[in-house]
Amino acid sequence: MSRTDELAQMLGRQHVLTGPETEAYTTDWRGRYSGRALAVVKPGSTEEVAEVVRWCVAHRVPMVPQGGNTGLCGGATPDGGGQAVVISLARLNRIRGIDTDNDTLVAEAGCILQSVQQAARDAGRLFPLSLAAEGSCTLGGNLATNAGGTQVLRYGNARELALGLEVVTAEGDIWRGLRGLRKDNTGYDLRDLYIGSEGTLGIITAATVKLYPLPVAQCTALLALRSVEDAVAVLSTARSGFGAALTGFELIAGNCLQGVVQCYPQQRIPFEGESAAMPWYALLELSDSESAEHARERFEAVVGAAIEDGLAADAVIAENVAQSNALWHLRESIPLSEKAFGKSIKHDVSIPVSRIADFVATTNAALQQSFPGVQHVIFGHLGDGNLHYNVARGEAYTEEELLSKQAAVYDLVHGSVHRYGGSISAEHGVGQLKRDLLPRYKDPIELALMRRIKQALDPQGLMNPGKVLAA
């Protein structure tokens, strides 16, 4: 009996893919990384995941856990050796329970993020994790990469939203840690160890997550801005005026919105004249627990003050849900329009908010000096200091010419990030993309401790090898 026959006997032939059937699972969403797999398996329960892991350990077969395959750093893509088994969590897609008194929800790792949001909403609650890929990414992948998104400013990253986990360890044991407790000081916090580990320590199969009251009202506005300095000042004003009710603050370069409307003519920038061609925009969202009138009054006061103080050149406040959705759709379409215009050199970085304006100005200037004519495609979550600082070819280079300069562009941008006290990965993870960069920017003691944890929890090195830490 072949190895794939053994897996088929374990899970059923229809849940074990081989040959050409695996191709959709062995290339990442960006088309940057492609590999080969011995098989793609689709277990239907945590127990079946554990059975597959024990089989892989017995046969010394590497394992690559995979959720929605929407990652941007190659963290869920096998290498080219063809020896690994891709473990798809797609069939673990059940909502196991909702406790509205405790404000918690238990969902399996293969649940689409949008489905988790909807289940919470159906129960009169909010699950606030929100990102552009929420219609296809999965909860397990969100936790494995400690995903961020548009509401980190108010609710935190995926790590802050998880109370408990169920995990299949690298030996095939099941840790059933789905406690819905907000206080539990009984030793090391294993939950936080597995979250953000990108499947290199074990496989998350389910999670208990926090829920929040649904806001009574939400207000959204798009502000036209002259500079990043003005955006930071508006953020400070909004924090003072809204407090914890400020749930979103996105910074968007003008060329990002121009790219969206060029790619998707059905969308439009909701300004006229000079305001439609400003170098920067900010998308703000307020969530109010009192009333729509109270929300609107607070919102208009803060936005009005920003205009009166000369920090914002213009503003459009959504009058209804459809207009609010249209503003957010502009923001969420940026990654898709980027992809339509060809490959770019992407950076997912975080910088102290107080230093972002200087970082953008000095890094843009340095790039133009070294690579004249490149295009700066900058957007992201200014409220929590996370920028998607991307470098596109513009009119000066072909795609191939730009990508040939990738290593030098990384050196320049990441070196600047490091000098400004930032991180080279804010919310996308490390995967393969940034694995070899970590030794440059991480404290050597920190890296040594990470290696010791990896060795302790995955002594055979079979869990997602080649990701996060170099061999």
Instruction: Give residue-wise pLDDT tens across range 115-170.
Output: 999 999 999 999 999 998 899 999 999 999 999 999 999 999 999 999 999 999 99
Q: Which band of pLDDT confidence, cut at 50, 70 and 90, is reported for residue 32?
A: confident
Does 343 have pLDDT greater than 90? no
Does 367 reside within a domain? yes
Instruction: Give residue-wise pLDDT tens across range 371-423.
Output: 999 999 999 999 999 999 999 998 899 999 999 999 999 999 999 999 999 99
Q: Which band of pLDDT confidence, cut at 50, 70 and 90, is reported for residue 290?
A: confident
| Percent of the chain as helix, strand, coil, to the nearest 5 | 40, 20, 35
Instruction: Examine the domain organization and report whether 99 and 202 are in the same domain.
Output: yes
Which of 213, 244, 275 marks a domain boundary? 213
Mean pLDDT of the chain: 95
Average pLDDT rounded to a whole number, residues 62-91: 96
Average pLDDT rounded to a whole number, residues 424-447: 94
Does 366 reside within a domain? yes
Instruction: Examine the domain organization and report whether 228 and 203 are in the same domain.
Output: no
Instruction: Examine the domain organization and report whether 204 and 229 are in the same domain.
Output: no
The vertex-384 CA angle with 378 and 389, nearest 5°, equals: 20
Instruction: Examine the domain organization and report whether 31 and 70 are in the same domain.
Output: yes
pLDDT at 241: 87
Average pLDDT rounded to a whole number, residues 357-361: 98
Q: How far is it, in rounded angstroms, from Cα 277 to Cα 290?
A: 36
Select from 303, 297, 298 the least CA-distant residue to 283: 303
Average pLDDT rounded to a whole number, residues 348-360: 97
pLDDT at 339: 82
DSSP run (H or E) holding 247? strand 246-253
Does 462 reside within a domain? no
Are 151 and 218 a contacting pair, CB within 8 Å? Answer: no
Instruction: Examine the domain organization and report whether 331 and 223 are in the same domain.
Output: yes
Does 455 reside within a domain? no
Range of the structural domain that residue 122 is part of: 95-213
Q: What is the CATH number of the domain that holds 414?
A: 3.30.70.2740
Instruction: Examine the domain organization and report whether 234 and 307 are in the same domain.
Output: yes
Q: Which band of pLDDT confidence, cut at 50, 70 and 90, is reported for residue 298?
A: confident
Instruction: Examine the domain organization and report whether 74 and 120 are in the same domain.
Output: no
pLDDT at 328: 94
Does 138 reside within a domain? yes
Which of 306, 336, 366 marks a domain boundary? 336
pLDDT at 292: 77
Does 456 reside within a domain? no
Instruction: Give residue-wise pLDDT tens across range 168-218.
Output: 999 999 999 999 999 999 999 999 999 999 999 999 999 999 999 999 888
Query: What's this model's pTM, rounded to 2 decimal places?
Result: 0.93
Instruction: Give residue-wise pLDDT tens across range 230-258.
Output: 999 999 999 998 888 999 999 999 999 99
The total of other beta-carbon atoms located within 10 Å of residue 437's CB is 15
Select from 49, 27, 29 the least CA-distant residue to 37: 27
pLDDT at 299: 85
Instruction: Examine the domain organization and report whether 228 and 326 are in the same domain.
Output: yes
Does 182 reside within a domain? yes
Does 427 have pLDDT greater than 80? yes
Which of 292, 313, 336 marks a domain boundary? 336
Does 471 have pLDDT greater than 80? no
Percent of the chain with pLDDT over 70: 100
Q: What is the CATH number of the domain that holds 282?
A: 3.30.70.2190
Does 41 have pLDDT greater than 90? yes
Instruction: Examine the domain organization and report whether 357 and 379 are in the same domain.
Output: yes
Does 52 have pLDDT greater than 80? yes
Average pLDDT rounded to a whole number, residues 221-233: 97
Does 291 have pLDDT greater than 80? no
Q: Which band of pLDDT confidence, cut at 50, 70 and 90, is reported for residue 336?
A: confident
Instruction: Examine the domain organization and report whether 108 and 185 are in the same domain.
Output: yes
Does 270 reside within a domain? yes
Residue 367 φ/ψ region, left for φ over 0, alpha for ψ in the -120 to 50 degree band, beta for the rest: alpha
Instruction: Examine the domain organization and report whether 352 and 286 are in the same domain.
Output: no
Angle 3-11/46-59 helices, nearest 10 degrees? 160
Residues 6+ apart with CB under 8 A from 176: 166
pLDDT at 206: 98
pLDDT at 338: 87
Q: What is the CATH number of the domain that holds 61?
A: 3.30.43.10
What is the number of alpha carbons within 13 Å of residue 369 lying toward its C-beta?
A: 8
Does 3 have pLDDT greater than 90? no
Average pLDDT rounded to a whole number, residues 275-297: 88
Q: What is the CATH number of the domain that holds 110?
A: 3.30.465.10
Instruction: Examine the domain organization and report whether 61 and 152 are in the same domain.
Output: no
pLDDT at 437: 94
Q: How many structural domains comprise the chain? A: 4
For every residue of 172-191, DSSP letters joined together read S-EEEE----S---SS--HH
